[in-house]
Amino acid sequence: MLSNILGVVEALIAAIAFSTASLFIKVSLKDLRSPFLINGIRALSASLIYFAVFLRIGLKNPSIHALLLIIASALIGPGLGDISFILSVDRLGAGFATLLSYQYILISQILNAVVLHDMRGFQAIYLTPIALLGLYVLVSDRKLTFDRKGVILAYNAAITWSVSTIMISYLVNFIGENPITVAGLRVFFLTPLLLGLGANEVVKVTRKALIVLTISGFTSYFVGFVTFTLALKELGVMVPSLITALTPMLSQIMSVKLLKERITRRGVLGSALIILSLILAIILTS
């Protein structure tokens, strides 16, 4: 029971951390257009924090098998997945891109059952459609722009995030790797690749973008990665992935407060459906 509560709290913290990242990226896109450099700066700031943490607690060397999975999960999820999402936002707008890419929740749950056979919190899969409906209602008051490449990019993000999530769960639940080690090494391997791919736009980095992305790196690539990985260890994939449906909802609330965007009745109704699905999932799986 205590581990369930801890896992839910960790997943909630991760959702909050990821929601701030979306807001910060939206702000930084006004100055930078390279998704590689945007994520590279975020990863670099988080790497410095992980380095300090590992100096303090030590770093246990993973096996070659685990190391290859960590590298693959980094390249597939926060690498290819995040880049695809940012590019899809540019083509579809944040609302439609989020609606499509966050179907990763259901894909992750299905893959978890089929590949890992980890049925912890399986009741959550029945409530995921309610959360996705809430997400649709949340963004449906905005004009939805259809762009074939944008749609492909959004679904690519959904699939790659799902595969990466399954890999992380396998690492911490079946191989027994330390969640902080997994989160930190993923960022370490990702940082030089992203910075290298975005190096040609370094001269365009403004002080404002640097500050915003540094904060975003701390909130998402450190706080978000660590707490989400810990939640996967405590609960498996089903419930933590569903809880991340809060991320776009919280991003919209923050946009209302910080960017002076308006909130609508549809936004309130969509948020209510998402929250309802999470409450029911937590009750049913406790």
Encode 105-141: b = buried (16+ Cβ within 10 Å), e = exposed: bbbbbebbbeebebebbbebbebbebbbebbebbbbb
Mean pLDDT of 268-284: 89
Vertex 261: Cα angle to 78 and 41 (nearest 5): 30
Pick the residue with more confidence: 271 or 146? Answer: 271
Range of weakest confidence among 91-100, 191-200, 217-226, 243-252: 91-100
Whole-structure pTM value: 0.92
What pLDDT shows up at residue 99? 84
pLDDT tens track for 180-205: 999 999 999 999 999 999 888 887 88
The pLDDT tens digits for 137-187 are: 887 766 667 788 999 999 999 999 999 999 999 999 999 999 999 999 999
What is the Cα gyration radius of the chain? 18
CB 114, CB 260: distance < 8 Å: no
User: Count of domains in the chain?
Assistant: 1
Average pLDDT, the chain: 89
* CB proximity list for 127: less than 8 A, separation 6 or greater: 242, 277, 278, 280, 281, 284
Q: What is the pLDDT of residue 257?
A: 62
* Greater model confidence, 67 or 252: 67
How many helices and strands (H and E) does the chain possess?
14, 0
Cα separation, 181 vs 3, in Å, equals: 20
pLDDT at 143: 65
User: Highest mean pLDDT range out of 90-94, 135-139, 273-277?
Assistant: 273-277
The token pair at 136 is 């649709």
Containing domain of residue 125, as a range? 2-285
With 70 as the cut, is the pLDDT of residue 103 above it?
A: yes
Question: Terminal CA-to-CA distance of the chain, rounded, Å?
Answer: 7
Q: Is the pLDDT of residue 45 over 90?
A: yes
pLDDT given at position 261:
59
Cα distances (angstroms) measured from residue 219 to each of 2, 28, 171, 204, 256: 25, 15, 23, 23, 19
Dihedral sign (CA 166, 83, 155, 235): positive
